[in-house]
Amino acid sequence: MRPPYDLLAGPGEDFDGATGDPRVVAVAWEAWRSDMAFAERFVTDAPDLHVEGDDSWRGTVSLRWVLIHMIEECARHNGDADIRRATPTM
SS3 label, residue 68:
helix
d(CA 46, CA 34): 18
Does residue 11 sit within a domain?
Answer: no
**Per-residue burial over 12-51, b = 16 or more CB atoms within 10 Å of its CB, e = otherwise:** eeeeeeeeeeeeeeeeeeeeeeeeeeeeeeeeeeeeeeee
Please tell me the predicted confidence (pLDDT) of residue 27.
86
Run means of pLDDT, 10 residues per run, the chain, 90 residues? 61 69 88 92 97 92 96 77 55
Q: Which domain holds residue 67?
A: 21-85
Please tell me the predicted confidence (pLDDT) of residue 86.
55
Does residue 4 sit within a domain?
Answer: no
Please tell me the predicted confidence (pLDDT) of residue 21.
87
Does residue 34 sit within a domain?
Answer: yes
Does residue 9 sit within a domain?
Answer: no
